[in-house]
Chain A
Amino acid sequence: MAIFGANGAGKTTLLRSIAGLIGNEASQITYRGRSIGNARPDVVAQMGLAMVPEGRQLFPSLSVEENLMIGGRVNREGPWNLRKVYDLFPILEERKAQASTSLSGGQQQMVAIGRALMANPDLIMFDEISLGLAPVIIRDIYKALPGIVGGGMSAVIVEQDITKALAVSSRVYCLQEGRVSLEGRSDAVSREDIARAYFEVE
């Protein structure tokens, strides 16, 4: 599933609310029949929701491997472990002892993705997955996505690049000023629909 929308539309706010970083009324967010709007972020994480935050936000005082290991703290059952993350992004194994801040932006994004995967979430949320990354890196990351989502994991992607968002998702939502201005199957929405939803030319 992909979410897009102009700056300030509320995409990040939505993801942060789901993750529990922004408090809401309990009933405002429901996950698997449970009201989690007011749940603490660590409790939400235990329930199987993980987030790759905008701007990576790695822990600077932890090494690459420690960043990944702390992601595994949630300790849920599942296919992902340190070995699998290194298989997915081999460069990280070479750099595992380095400070996470010494990596390039793309490698940092790999760590951030690996860190979220280590929790073996049922749902992984990517906030601005390609923001600030070189096109070639973005391509690599998108290439890795099917391998990530393949194992029954659902993904929510917030993306500015609508073409990319449509290509990898099955459903899209467009947000505008905090409201859903368009929703539909990714292969069924037209460019005109999106433009209208994005800019509200009604």
Chain B
Amino acid sequence: MDFVNAVVQGTLLGGLYALFAAGLSLIFGVMRLVNIAHGDLIVLAAYLGLTTTVVLGVHPLVALIVVVPAMAGIGYVLQRGVLNHTLGDDILPPLLVTFGLSVIIQNALLEGYSADPQKMDAGVLETASVALGPLSLGLLPLLTFAIAVAVIAGLQWTFYRTPLGRAFRATSDNQDIAQLMGLNKRHVFGLAMALALAVTAVAGILLGIRTSFDPSVGGGRLIFGFEAVIIGGLGNLWGTLVGGVILGVAQTVGATINPGWQLLAGHIAFLVILAVRPNGLFPRISG
């Protein structure tokens, strides 16, 4: 029973990891940018959520109304103001610049919020649960998983059913030719980053409700995001959800066996899959 419970809880946890990963996957997919600061942007979103709940006295989920557009705006400005200048044939400059960005965000958060762990208060949502036979499922993990599925379905729909998604895919395929179609690639990249950070905002708020956070936790979230993306296969959003679930299940099952093994089990699952299927489980079939 413990084992079944661990699998179910791990699956739900995987939803959160998929949210960490979705923005990362989107940015890499559209502009081949590996964003080292992604974890810190998640934490930034959590802090923005915290400030919003404190200042406006609203529930963390209501804070999404403020934080999602704020992060999207930050994403657009960041992309057009900084990151676009680093993109080119060389993949090193964006890596270095986003690494620097990561350091800057961490230190700015330290300066602004101190190193004390913080947490958002979501009231009964944190403890409420529904009984499913012998299992007890937390309402928050269930909600997180449902949001993750909805977000990924939404991204999938945007990518394959809208003119914006067409622009993303065309720009990803061939930047030069996409520009001949009248697409301003700087603007397209800005929109992609805005969308990615809007997703990051959701991830950050859910993270901040689930656990306490401090300015230094971004790196760990980045690793989970990377692992979920790579397990699922680069460029495949549903694969990213599966990757998140595999990671989550590995962690909770590992923790059931021995509490000290939680993180290790996740990393081992990642390494095993990387060894067996270097392209991930569901790599996008490219033409």
Contacts and interface: CB of A to CB of B under 8 A. Distances in A.
Is B one of A's binding partners?
yes
A50 interface: yes
Contacts of A73: 163, 167, 181-183
Interface string B32-46: 000000000000000
A46 B184 CA distance: 11
Interface in B160-218: 163, 166-167, 169-170, 172-174, 176-185
Contacts of A99: 287
Given A73-B163, A99-B287, A61 B181 contact: no
Contacts of A60: 173, 286-287
Contact of B183 (A42, A50, A51, A62): A42
A71 B181 contact: yes
Contact of A66 (B166, B177, B287): B166
Contacts of A51: 180
A59 B177 contact: yes
Majority secondary structure of chain B interface residues (helix, strand, loop or mixed)? helix
Contacts of B182: 42, 45-46, 73-75, 119
Contacts, number: 71
Contacts of A11: none
A89 B183 CA distance: 25
A198 to B, nearest CB: 29
The number of chain A residues touching the other chain, given as a range, is 20 to 34
A185 interface: no
Contact of B181 (A40, A101, A119): A119
Contacts of A70: 166-167, 170, 178, 181, 183
A5 interface: no
A178 B179 CA distance: 25
A21 B167 contact: no
A20 B180 CA distance: 8
Given A42-B184, A70-B166, A73-B167, A59 B174 contact: yes
A59 B173 contact: yes
Given A60-B286, A60-B287, A66-B166, A19 B173 contact: no
Interface string A8-34: 000000000001110000000000000
B180 A69 contact: no
A24 to B, nearest CB: 16
B219 to A, nearest CB: 32
A80 B174 CA distance: 24
B236 to A, nearest CB: 12
A30 to B, nearest CB: 20
Contacts of B183: 42, 70, 73
Contacts of B172: 61
Nearest to B235: A61
11 contacts: A40-B184, A53-B180, A59-B169, A59-B170, A60-B286, A61-B169, A69-B163, A70-B183, A73-B163, A99-B287, A115-B181
Given A62-B173, A73-B182, 5 more contacts: A45-B179, A50-B180, A59-B169, A61-B172, A66-B166
